[in-house]
Structure 1
Amino acid sequence: MAPEIVLQLALLSLALAMFFAIHQFPKHALNKHRTKNRAALLANRHFIQGSNLLARARSTTHRPQSLAHAKSALIEADKAIALSPKDPAPHVLKALAQELIGHTTSALRSLDLALSTPRVRSLSERERGGALVKRAELKLATNRRRQVDSAMEDLEEAGRLSEDNNATAFCLLGECYERKGMRAEAREAFEKALTIEPESIAARQGLERMGP
């Protein structure tokens, strides 16, 4: 038998095998796969819509309109979470919307969920660093002394993840040291922030508070 005919028969056998395998595959498994894909696409759609609404909320100076957009962004984030609960991105979006509304404690809980295992594994180092900085910022906003050490841990980790691009992290870290009376460490953190971002007003103000 010619080699070409043997090859054609082999390909035909493979095609038939694949055809029967597909048709004998349990329908519920195929439906589950399709449903999962549809859920992921729909969750992504809600996330994008929520992100756009949050951007509008941040861009307007009209407080009632900003709140309305932030609340709508929160609704879209919840829809995305319901469809894809293991995705950290909608939880971060929810936290940012909650912060804008003024719900600091709820925003902290949302960031805790985003940074929990296994969700955190889906974040890049830069994304994880950004979420850690935001969580530390919210912790400091609560003005609770016991949150300072926890915020420092988040900021130190964020600095290790993206040291060269995180002036905000070092400014906040300097503030933590300042609150704890660690002036030398605070000065070093503010100076590091200025090295990364020479125009940082927060870093300059921090150094001014440290004195000569």
Structure 2
Amino acid sequence: MEDQMWRDLLLQVAILLVLFMFLFIHSIPQKLFSKLRILTRRSNFEAKRHFVLGAQLLSQARSSSDRSLAQRAEAEADSAISLDPNDAAFHILKALALELQGFKTSALDSLDVALSPLAAKSMSDGERAEALFKRAELRVAVIDGGGAVEDLVESVRLKGDNARAFGLLGECYEKKGLKEEARKAYQDALRVQPDYDLARNALARFVSS
């Protein structure tokens, strides 16, 4: 019994090490998934295992033209969700897999679940900020920005070092005709990332107009 427990513990450690290496190498936002930790409950361990497999498949799908890999990543995310429906990371993985398949509305639905009160408790402020930014991107793409400003304002409040979030906020304000708010958002983007062309070009456009 004790030997089995140690074998399970070592296997969990190995999987987590592989996951952290994977997140370091690939472009999936690391901070979205930093809540992964060694758990003793078998169901939680199995959920994390499905998550690791799904994240690996998603990375492979992003670097290839084989969208069936994204479908398999979605299936692994669903398996993880069935075991632990209140972990936001699993819903975010599903959203990313759906987005890669072109199902942006469904991806938005998954992010809504991830950011619901019950699941959002599993995220840190920084992780929630990243998820809000991703949902805002999808809202701009799917529903012409409805609700995106609110998500972005909260995102940069929680974590004020995302130049892309400030840049997108500036674009949303511009579309609404709120030039001063847009100008400030672009200035904040440049404060975070001085070489951010989108914000620099936007401010230059304001000067010339």
Bin for the TM-score computed over the shorter chain: 0.7 to 0.9
Between structure 1 and structure 2, the one with the greater Rg is 1
Task: Determine the C-alpha separation between the residues in 1 that align with 2:54 and 2:184.
Answer: 38
Deviation at 1:155, TM superposition (A): 0.4
- What secondary structure sits across from 2:117 in the alignment? coil
The TM-score with structure 1 as length reference comes to 0.75
CA RMSD, 1 decimal: 1.5
Deviation at 1:115, TM superposition (A): 0.5
Q: Please name the residue that 1:200 is paired with.
A: 196
1:14-163 aligned within 5 A:
37-60=41-64, 63=65, 65=66, 67-144=67-144, 147=146, 150-163=147-160
More helix as a share of residues: 1
Q: Please name the residue that 2:172 is paired with.
A: 176
Q: Please name the residue that 2:27 is paired with.
A: none
CA contact (8 A) 2:58 2:97 kept: yes
CA contact (8 A) 2:86 2:122 kept: no
* Structure 1 residues without counterparts, runs of 5 or longer: 1-35
Cα deviation 1:25-82 (Å, max 9, x = unaligned): xxxxxxxxxxx9111101000001111111222233xx3x1x1221111111011001
Identity of aligned residues (%): 50
- What secondary structure sits across from 2:121 in the alignment? helix
Cα deviation 1:149-200 (Å, max 9, x = unaligned): x11111000111011x211110110011011011121121111111101222
Task: Determine the C-alpha separation between the residues in 2 that align with 1:51 and 1:194.
Answer: 32
Task: Determine the C-alpha separation between the residues in 2 that align with 1:210 and 1:112.
Answer: 35
Aligned residues between the structures: 169
Q: Which amino acid aligns with 1:54?
A: L
* Structure 2 residues without counterparts, runs of 5 or longer: 1-39
Q: Which has the higher contact order (CA 8 A, sep 6+)?
A: 2
Cα deviation 1:100-158 (Å, max 9, x = unaligned): 1111110111000000011101101110000000000000012536x1xx111110001
Q: Please name the residue that 1:27 is paired with.
A: none
Distance of aligned partners of 1:143 and 1:204 in 2 relative to their CA distance in 1, 3 Å threshold: farther
